[in-house]
Amino acid sequence: MEFFNFHTHQFTNQSDILELVNQYPQEFDDSIPFYSIGIHPWYITEDRLESDLKIVEEKLQTKNCLAVGECGLDKRTEVPLDLQITVFEKQLILAEKYRKPVVIHCVAAFQEVIAIKKRMKITVPMIVHGFSKNNQIANQLVKEGFYISFGKYLLRNSELKTVFQQVPNDRFFLETDTTQETIQEVYTLASAYKNLDSKELEAIISNNYKAVFQKT
């Protein structure tokens, strides 16, 4: 693989890109070769929660499922936070059981996510996707053992440059999420910000991929 797209909702089927495609339990597409699966905090439906969790657990036992998620906490959605926490914790239990990393959606709830990781003593890698915040939050996440994935906000907000530059090279991923821009475009900007050539950046992300997803 030349490029690893840590989080995308669009499978483009390009031979030089390994895409970790986000899947939802009720909209599962078994033609996608590598994916994460989870219950997003926006889409929690109480009356089908158990069936959704059952699907997630079933898929986590397959080799093509690389991660749990995206899942997490979002204080700007109408779903009650206590319900979000319950659903998030259930998925973290599954992540630990099947030794899968976790793709985290977090909006205005970083302290809660950090506290849950500590309280539950989560040992699998946890990666905050679509990061858009400041150095203080980034540094705290790295200190607490999280990885951070950058994508559309890196492309669109120049103030993230210094945040990205300060994240250690063994703690970041790149993604496209729902944007129309390609992962190659994200890599190009990331290379410039980190003052790396393209091969150096590819090697860094390849090493991070191997560390998080236990690939040799």
**pLDDT tops 50 at residue 216:** no
Q: Where are the domains of the chain?
A: 3-213
- Cα atoms in the 13 Å half-sphere on the side-chain side of 150: 33
**pLDDT tops 80 at residue 215:** no
3-state secondary structure of 213: helix
What pLDDT is attached to residue 174? Answer: 98
3-state secondary structure of 99: coil
Architecture of the CATH domain 3-213? Alpha-Beta Barrel (3.20)
d(CA 129, CA 151): 8
Given a contact cutoff of 8 angstroms between Cβ atoms, the answer to whether 206 and 4 are in contact is yes
Give residue 214's pLDDT band: very low, low, confident or very high (50, 70, 90).
Answer: confident
List, in sequence order, every residue forming a beta bridge with 107; answer none if it has no partner. Answer: 74
pLDDT digits (tens, 9 = 90+) for 108-133: 999 999 999 999 999 999 999 999 99
Given a contact cutoff of 8 angstroms between Cβ atoms, the answer to whether 179 and 151 are in contact is yes
